[in-house]
């Protein structure tokens, strides 16, 4: 059911082309699933669930019994049918259907459909080509918020200039609230599986994500530490205060934050805030078992390995002016022998400390390799917030370069592999998944899903390149975190290579990407990430050699 309900991108975005009917219905359904207090609209899922006498949708989601799933499916089906009808025939037809099928009165759903009507109109138009032409001509391009359509439908129409957020407004009240739920779920999950919550975690923070969510990742870091943002008279977040342990009801968690170059460029004030939060917590007079920040800092200082200043560094990024971990390039180019090299590269690129040093001087990216290595040495879990429906952990190489990279670096310095978690910030129930679970879900929802790959193949050459890149990004999770099951590679081979008709399509559309895909499967087998069945490797080698011949013009 989860795979079925995920919003699955069907093909690439074509610049200047507006959304089609099905894509429009999928997006509207996602938009309708959230309460929109700003326009007085309640979640359509809640309205239907209540109309059917099933209570709140939130409760249905929490109920994982078969009966619960069935009830939830009945709500989802009714919502889907009404939104599809709305797209085809308009609001009157949708009102009538909902009243009949789910006893939702038009007066209750009118605000939702007004909102969906506006979103639908705006999805129909694309200002992208015009916006680009204006930008190229040096003309004014109207600005709009930077966000995900589902998070904030006000991003529409597309083709406008993206304005970011005011870093002093981060995290927003809403982001801090939502972060509370995600962090509770995350810690509960870790406790259930490991008997206790992690004492130290590694977090990845990105810039665009924190723009889209008004700082949800930042808020999660504050929540883990057990601090709250404090706003000044101009409503700017410039301080933090510790939540007392009695109120927190659990131990604090030490956090090692590796932030992207984009985050560093956009959120300077926020890096200082995060650094301040760590120093505040390190200075609290609390017992070691409830305050691992203080315990870790004191242990480092007692070892005599560094100063107090140094022992409190937790915010790391690239050197000023530099971006990325390069772990993705090393993996894509197969330029590594032992996976230790991937963890070391991550540390080399990300070991620049930000925050305030002694006497309040800004550190501005001072190289601090030992400090990052030491901080990583006590990490037990790594985590990143996934902020959008469209870009998941196998769509781009950046998730494995960052979250995979930090996980490998932890393995190297803590001598144990951390448990890796991701959350779906957009899901109603603050869902948290382990990395292997997420790889399975992405594989089912995208890489092996005919709806997804046929959408891609419709784009010809570029579509095959996308399929190949999903396989390589999946491979990246083997290389950095050993998080890919055998069946994933076996099914990829079966779908794209052993199926002659499919292989023929790929080779005609884009023989170079087809060859890379086959080579990546052979590399997965060769590096021991996949125990392929007898005969399969032979067939992959033959396919590889045929593709070589084709590319070289022999066949
Ligand atoms: C960021 O928004 O920080 C980001 C974007 C793309 C890749 C990596 C990070
Ligand atoms: Mg990129």
Query: Does residue 206's CB lie within 6 angstroms of at least one atom of ligand 1?
Result: yes
Residue 212 neighbours by CB distance under 10 Å: 23
Query: Does residue 260's CB lie within 6 angstroms of at least one atom of ligand 1?
Result: yes
Q: Rounded CA gap, 47 and 153, in Å?
A: 20
In whole numbers, what is the pLDDT of the chain averaged over residues? 93
Token pair for residue 63? 């109920």
Among 216, 262, 390, which residue has the most ligand 1 atoms within 8 Å of its CB, making it the best to mutate? 262
How large is the average pLDDT for residues 487-512? 98
For residue 145, is pLDDT > 70?
Answer: yes
For residue 430, is pLDDT > 90?
Answer: no
Q: What is the per-residue pLDDT across 343-364, written as a single tens digit (0 to 9) for each?
A: 999 999 999 999 987 777 888 8
Among 208, 215, 392, which residue has the most ligand 1 atoms within 8 Å of its CB, making it the best to mutate? 208
For residue 275, what are the CA distances in angstroms to 199, 221, 227, 362, 364? 18, 11, 12, 11, 12
Among 251, 39, 21, smallest CA distance to 123 is for 21
Instruction: State phi, psi for 9 to the nearest 5 degrees.
Output: -60, 130
Ligand 2 midpoint to CA 398 (Å): 7
Query: Does residue 262's CB lie within 6 angstroms of at least one atom of ligand 1?
Result: yes
Q: Name the more confident of 483 and 147.
A: 483
Ligand 2 midpoint to CA 328 (Å): 10
Is the Cβ–Cβ distance between 393 and 422 less than 8 Å?
A: yes
Residue 149: per-residue pLDDT? 83
Ligand 1 midpoint to CA 261 (Å): 8
Confidence of residue 112 (pLDDT cuts 50, 70, 90): very high
Ligand 1 midpoint to CA 175 (Å): 19
Ligand 1 midpoint to CA 442 (Å): 20
Query: Does residue 207's CB lie within 6 angstroms of at least one atom of ligand 1?
Result: yes
Q: What is the per-residue pLDDT across 265-322, written as a single tens digit (0 to 9) for each?
A: 999 999 999 999 999 999 999 999 999 999 999 999 999 988 999 999 999 999 999 9
Query: Does residue 208's CB lie within 6 angstroms of at least one atom of ligand 1?
Result: yes
Nearest CA to ligand 1 atom 4: 206
For residue 277, what are the CA distances in angstroms to 67, 176, 284, 298, 552? 44, 15, 11, 17, 59
């Amino acid at each position: 059911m989860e795979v079925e309900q995920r919003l699955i991108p069907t093909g690439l975005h074509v610049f200047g082309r507006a959304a089609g009917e099905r894509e429009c219905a999928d997006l509207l359904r996602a938009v309708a699933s959230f309460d929109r207090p700003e326009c007085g609209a309640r979640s359509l899922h809640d309205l239907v669930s209540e109309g059917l006498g099933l209570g709140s949708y939130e409760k249905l989601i929490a109920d994982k019994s078969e009966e619960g799933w069935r009830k939830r499916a009945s709500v989802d089906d009714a919502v889907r049918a009404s939104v599809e009808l709305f797209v085809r025939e308009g609001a009157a037809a949708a009102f009538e259907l909902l009243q009949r099928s789910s006893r939702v009165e038009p007066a209750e759903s009118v605000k939702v459909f007004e909102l969906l009507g506006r979103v639908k109109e705006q999805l129909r138009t694309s200002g992208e080509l015009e916006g680009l032409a204006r930008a190229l001509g040096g003309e004014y391009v109207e600005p709009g918020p930077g966000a995900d359509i589902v998070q904030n439908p006000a991003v529409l129409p597309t083709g406008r200039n993206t304005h970011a957020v005011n870093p002093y407004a981060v995290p927003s009240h809403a982001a801090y609230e939502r972060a509370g739920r995600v962090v509770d779920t995350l810690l509960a999950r870790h406790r259930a599986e490991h008997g206790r919550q992690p004492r130290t975690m590694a977090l990845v923070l990105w810039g665009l994500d924190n723009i889209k969510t008004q700082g949800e990742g930042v808020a999660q870091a504050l929540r883990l530490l057990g601090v709250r943002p404090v706003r000044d008279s101009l409503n700017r977040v410039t301080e933090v205060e510790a939540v007392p342990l009695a109120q927190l009801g659990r131990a604090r968690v030490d956090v090692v934050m590796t932030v992207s170059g984009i985050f560093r460029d956009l959120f300077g004030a926020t890096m200082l805030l995060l650094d301040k939060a760590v120093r505040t917590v390190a200075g609290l007079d609390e017992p070691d078992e409830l305050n691992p920040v203080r315990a870790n800092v004191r242990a480092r200082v007692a070892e005599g390995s560094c100063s107090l200043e140094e022992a409190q560094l937790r915010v790391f990024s690239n050197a000023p002016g530099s971006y990325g971990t390069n772990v993705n390039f090393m993996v894509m180019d197969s330029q590594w022998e032992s996976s230790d090299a991937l963890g070391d590269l991550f540390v080399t690129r990300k070991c620049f400390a930000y925050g305030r040093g002694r006497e309040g001087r800004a550190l501005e990216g001072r190289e601090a390799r030992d400090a990052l290595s030491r901080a990583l040495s006590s990490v037990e879990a790594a985590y990143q917030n996934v902020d959008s429906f469209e870009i998941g952990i196998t769509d781009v190489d950046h998730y494995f370069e960052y979250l995979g990279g930090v996980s490998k670096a932890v393995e190297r310095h803590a001598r144990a592999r951390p448990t890796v978690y991701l959350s779906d910030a957009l899901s109603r129930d603050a869902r948290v998944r382990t990395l292997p679970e997420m790889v399975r879900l992405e594989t089912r929802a995208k890489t092996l899903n005919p709806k997804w790959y046929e959408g891609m193949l419709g784009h010809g050459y570029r579509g095959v390149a996308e399929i190949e890149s999903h396989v390589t990004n999946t491979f990246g999770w083997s290389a950095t975190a050993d998080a890919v099951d055998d069946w994933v590679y076996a099914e990829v081979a079966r779908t794209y290579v052993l199926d002659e008709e499919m292989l023929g399509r790929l080779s005609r559309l884009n023989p170079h990407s087809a060859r890379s895909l086959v080579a990546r499967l052979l590399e997965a087998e060769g590096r021991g990430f996949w125990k392929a069945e007898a005969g399969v490797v032979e067939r992959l080698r033959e396919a590889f050699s045929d593709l070589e011949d084709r590319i070289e013009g022999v066949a």
